Amino acid sequence: MEGFDCDVAVVGAGPVGAVLANLLGHAGVTVVVLEAAGNVIGHPRAVGIDDEAIRTLQSFGLAQVVLDNSLTNVPIRYHDSAGRVLAHVAPTGRPYGWPRRNLFYQPFLEECLREHLARYDSVDLRLGSRVTALDQDSGGVTLRARTDDGEATVRARYVVGTDGGRSYVREAVGISLRGDTAPVKWLVVDVEKDTWDAPYSAVYTSPERPSMTIPLPFGYRRFEFQIRDDEDPATVSRPDTVTSLLKRFYPGSQVPPVVRSDVYWHHSRTAASFQAGRVFLAGDAAHLQPPFFGQGMNSGIRDVTNLAWKLALVTGGQAAPRILDTYDAERRRNAEVMVAFATRMGRMYKARNRFTDRLRNAAFRGAQKVPGARDYILQMKYKPIPRYTEGLVIGADGADRTSLVGRAFPQPTVRTAEGEGTRLDDVLGPRVGVLGLVPDFAASISDRTAERLRAHGGVLVQSVPAPVYQRGMSPPADGPADMPANREVVEVVDVDGALRDLLLARPADEVYVVRPDRYVGAVCRAADLDRVLGHFLSALEP
């Protein structure tokens, strides 16, 4: 570290930047976080956190704390222009081990993330530090920041800009934003001491004024109203106008106190690149999307979940710097897909006229009479699922639609050798995991490949059926038979049969190579594991 203040400098300590700093700190990476503001902003911007983001929080121990202070699995109701329920979305599945749709209070989340950073000696959070200059060379990046005490300089090997839609970092490295800004504006209103007993989110589609309302923890509630073309935003956002808009939701009681009312444009934009040399962009600095599906912050957390483990391996000398180039290849296309999806969702909120309004309503109601289509809507299966076809994935080009290559691996409940029930990620840990669904899969790995996996901190995990399911092919309780001495294999009992069902659905996929971000890097038969795992490890190595 001679000549460097840190391995990674993070510019911006909002939710995305703070999650990145926690991921890096948990991995032992030295980090300096530069945040212009002195304190957490006292009102929410993002309001929804999904199961993928909660899974990331799980990796450094904050998932349950955040969920305990969130409204979990909250349904959402879509209403037509007459106020009738058009669709009721209430996902109950937990493919990644956590509830799929959760409503949270952003200031609470940010405080938790910042407090959690204090446990990492390798992380230095500097509030009140506004970055004013960025100079990049072949060996690193130098940042200058204005602070209360004057000017400070930070020299880092890599820099990540998580500094929002008006990102200074993005501007400093000359990366443009591509896309559009919607011509319409929306009024966002937050109230406190809410008295409306509606434990669900609601969207009111209308050709005149689409609106939505979202319950939040601690007695808060969010409202959003579209501003018509013939209206003056300054007039609509006046206290008396805001009260009149809210009154229809509280016909028999007083309107709760308004704590915020702001006018927003909705952007559908993605950065031309997520990387410029040693500088990376994540979150709103890399992509902006309308809030209609609540994926802005969640997409940003997916960004840093993808990037953090690569930075950790590179700065720790366990992987070649070239793997960092896969960040843009893996994340940018998926971010574009999510931005486009959120934009389409917004168009559904406001029909062009009464005719298209009735046409859309009929199509929605008709679809819900078909069992498969109803489940598609109810369980939120229409949400785009990220899939990486380029980067650190082996065999993605030839993978069919149902393959998990390039997708997030599910997270079932398993039981360890000590008899404790836990989630699979807690066994895999923040490392490359090789998960075998058939007995003695690790015996097919050569000594050389086993040593290479160990050098990368990887782990071999053997799934076994519950002991009560006694069959001749089941491995004995004391571990796999005839396993070479240098094969340390962690056994887990497939409590719910989820891993069994994976094998039944795709019998040829006997072994999964799972990356530290829990995405599948490769799948194969046990007989091919030495070759496939060797190929994957070669992509990491200098």
Q: What's the mean pLDDT in 237-247?
A: 95
Is a pLDDT exceeding 70 seen at residue 470? no
Q: Output the pLDDT for position 151.
A: 94
Q: Output the pLDDT for position 378.
A: 47
Is a pLDDT exceeding 80 seen at residue 183? no
d(CA 272, CA 170): 10
Cβ count within 10 A of residue 351: 20
Residue 477: band (very low, low, confident or very high) from pLDDT cuts 50, 70, 90: very low
Q: Lay out the sheet containing 48-50: strands in order across.
A: 48-50, 101-103, 71-72
Q: How many helices (H) and strands (E) does the chain have?
A: 15, 26
Is a pLDDT exceeding 80 seen at residue 510? yes
Residue 209: band (very low, low, confident or very high) from pLDDT cuts 50, 70, 90: confident
Higher per-residue confidence, 381 vs 538: 538
The percent of residues in the chain predicted with pLDDT above 70, rounded, is 88
Of 208-217, 368-377, 407-416, 442-451, where does mean pLDDT reach its minimum? 368-377
- Burial of 264 by CB count in 10 Å (0-12 exposed, 13-18 middle, 19+ buried)? middle
Q: Which tens digit of pLDDT belongs to each residue from 301-333?
A: 999 999 999 999 999 999 999 999 999 999 999
Ordered domains of the chain (ranges, CATH): 6-69+104-175+272-343 (3.50.50.60), 179-267 (3.30.9.10), 413-540 (3.40.30.10)
Q: Which tens digit of pLDDT belongs to each residue from 70-85?
A: 999 999 888 887 778 8
**Which ranges of 27-62 would DSSP assign to H, the alpha helix?**
51-58
Q: Output the pLDDT for position 18.
A: 98
Residue 10: band (very low, low, confident or very high) from pLDDT cuts 50, 70, 90: very high
Is a pLDDT exceeding 90 seen at residue 185? no
Is a pLDDT exceeding 50 seen at residue 377? no
CB neighbours of 274 closer than 8 A, spacing ≥ 6? 280, 281, 282, 286, 303, 327, 328, 331, 332, 335
Is a pLDDT exceeding 70 seen at residue 375? no
**CA dihedral sign, ordered 191, 197, 200, 202:** negative
Q: Output the pLDDT for position 360.
A: 60
DSSP string, 298-316: HHHHHHHHHHHHHHHHHHT
pTM of the predicted structure, to 2 decimals:
0.91
Q: Can you list the positions of beta strands (E) in 364-451?
A: 413-415, 421-423, 433-436
d(CA 6, CA 31): 5
d(CA 151, CA 143): 10
Q: Which phi and psi (to 5°) does residue 369 adopt?
A: -85, -15
Q: Output the pLDDT for position 35.
A: 97
Residue 487: band (very low, low, confident or very high) from pLDDT cuts 50, 70, 90: confident
Q: Output the pLDDT for position 193.
A: 96
d(CA 58, CA 63): 5
Q: What is the enclosing helix (H) or strand (E) of 89?
A: strand 85-89
Angle at 381 between CA 376 and CA 384, to 5 degrees: 140
Beta strands 177-191 and 150-161 are unpaired
d(CA 353, CA 350): 8
Q: Output the pLDDT for position 289.
A: 85
Higher per-residue confidence, 367 vs 65: 65
Say if CB 459 and CB 429 are below 8 A apart.
Answer: yes
Q: Output the pLDDT for position 276.
A: 98
Q: Output the pLDDT for position 273.
A: 98
Q: Output the pLDDT for position 363.
A: 61
Angle at 21 between CA 16 and CA 26, to 5 degrees: 130
Q: What's the mean pLDDT in 452-479?
A: 75
Higher per-residue confidence, 296 vs 355: 296
Backbone dihedral region of 440: left (phi > 0), alpha (psi from -120 to 50 degrees) or beta?
Answer: left
Is a pLDDT exceeding 60 seen at residue 26? yes
Residue 376: band (very low, low, confident or very high) from pLDDT cuts 50, 70, 90: very low
The percent of residues in the chain predicted with pLDDT above 90, rounded, is 68
The mean pLDDT value of the chain amounts to: 89
The number of angstroms, rounded, from the C-alpha of 23 to the middle of its chain's C-alpha atoms is 13
Q: Which tens digit of pLDDT belongs to each residue from 331-366?
A: 999 888 888 877 776 666 655 556 566 666 666 566
| b/e sequence 43-65, b meaning 16+ C-beta within 10 Å | bbbbbbbbbbbbbbbbbbebbee
Q: Output the pLDDT for position 364.
A: 59
